[in-house]
Structure 1
Amino acid sequence: MVTLEQVEKLCQHANISYEEARAVLEETNGDILEAIIKLEKQNRIQAPVGGGHYSSKNSQQGTENNCREKSFKEEKNRTDNASFSELVGRFFRWCGEIINRGNKNSFEVIKGGEKVVTIPVTILALLLLFMFWVTIPLMIVGLFFGYRYMFSGPDLGKENVNRAMDSVADAAENLKKEVKGDKSNGKNSDN
């Protein structure tokens, strides 16, 4: 027996009239798949591109993709639905973490192997941000007067960071020697 629901499904899928759908379904004993195949063979509907094959692997992948999309949408909704105060709170917590890290790490000014000044990286960042026209020239001039700079602490006290700082100081020292006219052996070129 053919139901109205089966006829409607076939009409929607095959884009045929109710009468044609009912007739084909009666011939196939209510099997919608058989009805679609019969209509394709009669060239009354167009076969899907690529031959229309079925694989359970694709449906499993589709299910996994749907699950991922669903969890992504839920996460997005959670952040979209976050109130302004929650977002402000997150921002201030992030700022607090950055300031805390900056306070744990320090910037050291060294001359002749002795520490002259040690300041937290947070202070250095503020100086560079608000007074860069004073801070950067002072640091460059300090390089030419034999000062070296170094970072210390759990995040910035890495050897490669300090090696880069040393190479800048060495380059400034070499430039100073070239400007003075000193040769590599330490004698003046005028003699």
Structure 2
Amino acid sequence: VLLADIGSARTLLVDGAKQLMKQRHSASEMYVNQQKTEWKEKHTFNPTTTVGYKATYTENILYTTDFEKVMDNEEFQNDWILKVHDFMVKDLELSEDMAINYISAEGTLLKELATVKKDIHPQFMDIGMKKLTDLEKLHLSWLSEKVTDPTKMEKFSQFRKEYFDKFYQEKFLPSRGIATEVKPEI
């Protein structure tokens, strides 16, 4: 009987030691994860965003709420391509080639801006901003060179803003500070 009690006590002691080690391991994991999260937040550029289309693609990618989600939205893209084409050709009386080139350049620009945005470090904001603005100039400077009439450029800028803002208002709703895509009911 005495041997059975000693074996039982040993099992309880070993189980207790294992449990204590698990708790210490869990606590250290939690601490490490907390430190990683704090470091990531400290070294990640996460600006405050607002609703509404901004003047430049750089400003939009950084400071417009859900800009990338809207621009990546399939419904937005399908309609946007047609609207841009019609607006440039009919309203601004530009060539069809210019409309096609713009749509292509815009898509490439947005992908590259999103990539650079992820790598912006808060301590080196000036370098990150320069990369973004340089990309925008690289991809879209040809448009202002081809469209020398400032009135047409202003009309096009206004068209982009109105279209984006209208789509956002109709298809994305603010919910607890985070916009969520509205799914059509089937």
Sort the TM-score into its range (normalised by shorter chain).
Answer: under 0.3
Please, what TM-score do these two structures have when normalized by structure 1?
0.24
* Greater fraction helix: 2
* Greater fraction strand: 1
Please, what TM-score do these two structures have when normalized by structure 2?
0.24
Higher-Rg structure is 1
